[in-house]
Every structure is written in C-alpha cells, then in structure tokens.
Amino acid sequence: MSHRIVFLDRATIAPQIRLRPPSFAHEWIEHAETRADQVLERLAGASIAVTNKVPIRGAVLERLPALKLIAVAATGTDCVDKAACAARGVLVSNIRGYAVNTVPEHTFALILALRRNVVAYRESVLAGRWQQAGQFCFFDHPIRDLRGARLGIIGEGVLGQRVAEIARAFGMLPMFAAHKGKSGLGPLYTPWQEVLETSDVITLHSPLTPETRGMIGTPEFEAMGRRPLLVNTARGGLVDEAALVRALDAGLISGAGFDVVDGEPPRPDNPLMRAAARPNVILTPHVAWASDEAQQTLADQLIDNIENFVAGRPSNRVEGAF
C-alpha cells in the first residue's frame, strides 16, 4: 500500500531544515501554506495529513474517509478537532521534548537583554550618545545583575524546569508559582500571590487553556511589588496585552520580553505591536522554539511518528485536550 502524505504548511519549518523521505512507499505533497477553505481539497485522498498550525476541524474530517493520521509538526494540537478524530478513528500525533534548549535559551536572551538594557544602550550608541558623553562610557540606563534576583516561573514542565536550572547557574533564586487560585500543591510550589509580590523577573511556560487564558491581567500587575520584568515565550493569550501596556505606562513592571502575542501574526493595532519600539520592550516573532538544532529534531521526530504509525507502533499519540 502506498500512502498519500500531505503537508499543509511546510513554510512553518525553515527551508534549511531537512525532512527525510519516509521509508515506506508513499506520495509526498507539500504546500507552503494552506487557507482554511483549501484544507478539504488538498487532503482529498490523503491517508496522512501533516499540519503545524492549519486547523483541521470536524466538518472537514467527515469528508475525508481515507485519512488515518494527523501528524502535528508541533507540541500543541489545538488546531485539530481531537474529539472528531477519536470518533472517526483518526490518530493524532505531536512533537515532544525538542525545545528543551532553544526556548529556555531564548528566555534568558530576553531576560539578559532587558535586565542589562542592551536595546536601550544600542539605540543610544546609534544616536551618537557615546561621542556626546566625552568619556569611555555613559550611564543613561540602569544595569542589574541576575545573581540574587528572584525568578518567578509560571509552569513547572520540562521548559520551566530547564529555565530554573539555568537560573541557578546565574545565582538567581527560582520559584515555581502555585497554580492560580489553588493551594496545597506541595513543597515544589510558592504561593501564586507571593510569586507576584516578590519576583524580580517573571517568566511564563504554561499551556494556553480556558483556565490559563488571561491569567496575568490588571490585578496581577498591581500585585507585582518589585516592578519585575515579564517574559513570555509560551502563548500570547496568557497575558491581557492591553493591561500589559497599561502596566508599562504606570511603571508597575520594568519591562517586557515577549515572543508570542494573542493572534499571530499580530494586527498592527495589537497593544504589544504599539509598544514594541520602547527600549524596555522586546518583541520577537514566535521564534523561541526555532533554533536550527531544535527544528531538525522536530523534523526528524515528525517523520519518526509517521513511520511508526505505518509500522503499527504509533508514537507520541495525543489523547484528550492537549
């Protein structure tokens, strides 16, 4: 049997990353991108669909009787109607563990750049301030060490744990925040309110669920007693972005480093886009995951998942609302 494999959004993986051909008889078709109204036509006759962010919903699945596997080229699978897949016997797989270095490293790139005001100093140098200073250095922007700073980590999974490991190497004091509104979670956790009130840096590593959407808003910003940096390399919807800009305006936080926004690509009037030119704000385009090494690991695991499915030993099977 030859499988027809259709990759709906190959452009979401960098062109230099190699996708090795699966080791079984197959037809491989890839599209750089796919609109929602093109999904049904492009998946017609396919037994295996590959998607990173293109939604595959129940109404489409009903009209794709040949489809047996949806291989998601990412960890999050909210783009797939998993209940409809389960009802129709379509297996869903995802990618796991590939970002354990790239996301924490990007997190600390943002923390270091903001904590040491790298962007502000770069802009000052380009504006001629060094020559105006008339000496070997100038002190227009405060610089703070990481050693001794309290790091609030929201999300205690593999990425949050790796961030804590790096933080300890810098001499920081990491704290894992207890889940908002919950208590009695054990000694790993610091109470939610204490993390807000005592952190010098807060970094988010949580999934986006109905429970976590908007978990950081005006009440949380007002509770941040030490004017922390807020870093988000997880999901944009975790933070109320309008409230974030108000917090920057009011000096409730000292800066923001975001790799994600709520709705990507962001509209020009997105609050974070309007604030992105500030020297204490860094906005990167959802690339914390995207080191060449991490992307190649992702690509290799994606083909592994497809080959394992065809061999009758499916890997990274997704069940439930992951």
Run of H or E including 107: helix 102-115
Residue 265: is the preceding peptide bond cis (ω within 30°)?
yes
Helix, strand or coil, per DSSP, at residue 91: strand
Residue 96 structure tokens: 């796991």
Given 10, 115, 235, 241, the catalytic residue: 235
Run of H or E including 232: strand 229-232
d(CA 71, CA 88): 16
How many CA atoms lie less than 13 Å away from 263 in the CB half-sphere? Answer: 10
Given 33, 211, 264, 319, the catalytic residue: 264
Active site residue 63: no
Active site residue 235: yes
Determine whether 231 is exposed, middle or buried from the number of CB atoms within 10 Å of its CB (0-12, 13-18, 19+): buried
For 85-233, list the strands marked E by DSSP. 91-93, 150-154, 173-177, 189-190, 201-204, 229-232
Given 3, 10, 162, 286, the catalytic residue: 286
d(CA 133, CA 257): 29
How far is Cα of residue 84 from the mean position of the Cα atoms in its chain? 26
Listed residue (243, 154, 241) closest to 194, CA to CA: 154
d(CA 91, CA 72): 11
Active site residue 116: no
Determine whether 276 is exposed, middle or buried from the number of CB atoms within 10 Å of its CB (0-12, 13-18, 19+): middle
- Catalytic residue numbers? 235, 264, 286
